[in-house]
Structure 1
Amino acid sequence: MTTYLLVHGAWHSGQAWERVAPLLTAAGHRVLAPTLTGHGSAPFDPEAGLETYVADVKRVLDEHDLADVVLVGHSYAGLIVSSVVNDVPERIGHVVYLDAMVPVHGETALDVMPITGVLVEAAARSNTPERVPPLPEMPAPHGLFGVTDPGDIARLRATLVDEPVRAYEQPVRLDNPVADAVPRTHIHCVGFEVEGITRRPVPPTQPNGSPAQVWELHSGHDCMITAPDELAALLLKLA
């Protein structure tokens, strides 16, 4: 049995994984999909940020005494899982960057994806400068984070919350060479790219010296909602 720890991205909640988790469980594996501080039904926390979310995930690892975990970070959570692997590499068997930000030491979300600076600047001009609201729905085929079905959009919108500005401004600390040994996989959602949002190319070699592992999934950004079967099939290859 493999344990999957699924970490949602900015604005979302653990509910984002509700179509993927049962598929992994049905295959005989354990799945944990926590909701981070200030997300879901929890009250907004202006003091929360990257360090808070890293502590949230590490708390799950500790409370369940987990090891050899497949740690999956979606979107912004690429920063979170990178930091978790840096802090507790002995608990992580594999890290998956799911259409995610991939930082280097000392970077913030603003560094990894500069377009997020536009969101922070807009927040600064608003009446709630500590809050970054979710991205708006776009015309098809982009929809709301790649979700275009009206029912799915309504359910997703009901779960989205504002993100604290601190989440974008706190840097990652990736200074533990032991973490380099943890294998990693990148899953890129392709076919529905949004102009102005680009991902960094994946280096041909992983930090552990093995060839890079990059898989593509034909889906919008929130593939756990729009392509759960295909995503689960890829994740099960790591079990």
Structure 2
Amino acid sequence: MANFVLVAGARLGAWAWDEVVPELRAAGHGAHPLTLSGLAEKRDVPAGQHTHVQDIVGEVEGKDLRDVVLVGHSYAGIPVGQAAVGIGDRLTHLVLVDAEVPVDGAAFVSAWPDGGATVTASIAQNGGFWPLAPATHYDGHGLTDEQIARIARGATPHPGATLTEPAVLTRSLGELPATYIHCLLAGAEPGDDVAAQSSAGQHWRLVEMDTGHWPMFSQPRELARLLLGTVEV
């Protein structure tokens, strides 16, 4: 039995995995959706990048989980990638769902075309939080109006420090068994680091989903099947 620890991206909480979790548990595995500090039901908890890494490591170690599949979506790829190194031999597989890949010394905003200036300014103007996105932000991603409304209802402003503080990696992620799920409707191709790791063919593999950036809403069953496939390879 594997234990899936599921972490959604910016502004989202454990609730984002509500339609994925039953599929994983029905297959006989553990599923542990996690809300990071500063979000959803934990919105009043102060958080920086290190806090989010510790949230994930604490979930794994606190529940004494073994055979762990760490799943990070979008922004959460950064703390999940760091946590994957931190949990050592408890890790079975790392899954990055249309996610950012952590780079030692770089922050989430580092890869933005303007170096993160726009996001940083937005955080400063909104009390230290990245504000909610408008409903139009979710257009073109294979989501129904109902699904978009659900995301908008559940989303909370994202703690800004987690986006601007750098990642710290003590080991190359290329050494870990990993799957990168690229969502085609999201537009942007995976970064050079993903391409290099997957083309090497030793530890990483690249798979595609014909949907947008939020597959846990648009195609939860298909996403669950891909996640289950990582414990069969």
Residue 164 (structure 1) aligns with: 159
Corresponding pairs, count: 229
Tell me: CA distance 1:123–1:205, structure 2 relative to 1, closer, same or farther (3 Å). Answer: closer
TM-score (norm 2): 0.89
Tell me: CA distance 1:229–1:119, structure 2 relative to 1, closer, same or farther (3 Å). Answer: same
Structure 2: segments with no counterpart, 5+ residues = none
Preserved contact between residue 182 and residue 208 of structure 1 (Cα < 8 Å)? no
Computed over aligned residues only, the root mean square deviation of the Cα atoms, in angstroms, reads 2.3
CA distance in 1, matches of 2:77, 2:138: 26
Structure 1 residues 143-182: aligned runs within 5 Å: 146=141, 148-176=143-171, 180-182=174-176
Shift of 1:67: 2.0
Shift of 1:169: 1.2
Residue 31 (structure 1) aligns with: 31
Structure 1 residues 1-239: aligned runs within 5 Å: 1-45=1-45, 47-114=46-113, 116-124=116-124, 126=125, 128-138=126-136, 141-142=139-140, 146=141, 148-176=143-171, 180-193=174-187, 199-201=190-192, 202-205=194-197, 210=202, 212-239=204-231
Shift of 1:14: 0.5
TM-score (norm 1): 0.87
Preserved contact between residue 89 and residue 182 of structure 1 (Cα < 8 Å)? no
Preserved contact between residue 11 and residue 158 of structure 2 (Cα < 8 Å)? yes
Preserved contact between residue 177 and residue 204 of structure 2 (Cα < 8 Å)? no
CA distance in 2, matches of 1:147, 1:35: 24
Tell me: CA distance 1:106–1:147, structure 2 relative to 1, closer, same or farther (3 Å). Answer: same
Pick the structure with more helix per residue.
2
Preserved contact between residue 106 and residue 173 of structure 1 (Cα < 8 Å)? yes
CA distance in 2, matches of 1:238, 1:209: 15
Shift of 1:208: 9.1
Deviation per CA, 1:132-181: give whole Å up to 9, x if none.
Answer: 11222227742xxx36322222221111011121011111111236x653
Tell me: CA distance 1:182–1:131, structure 2 relative to 1, closer, same or farther (3 Å). Answer: same
Shift of 1:206: 5.7
Deviation per CA, 1:20-71: give whole Å up to 9, x if none.
Answer: 11011111111000111121133344x4121111111111111111122111
Aligned partner of 2:206: which letter? V
CA distance in 2, matches of 1:162, 1:49: 14
Q: Secondary structure at the match of 1:205?
A: helix
Shift of 1:212: 3.6
CA distance in 2, matches of 1:121, 1:139: 19
Identity %: 32
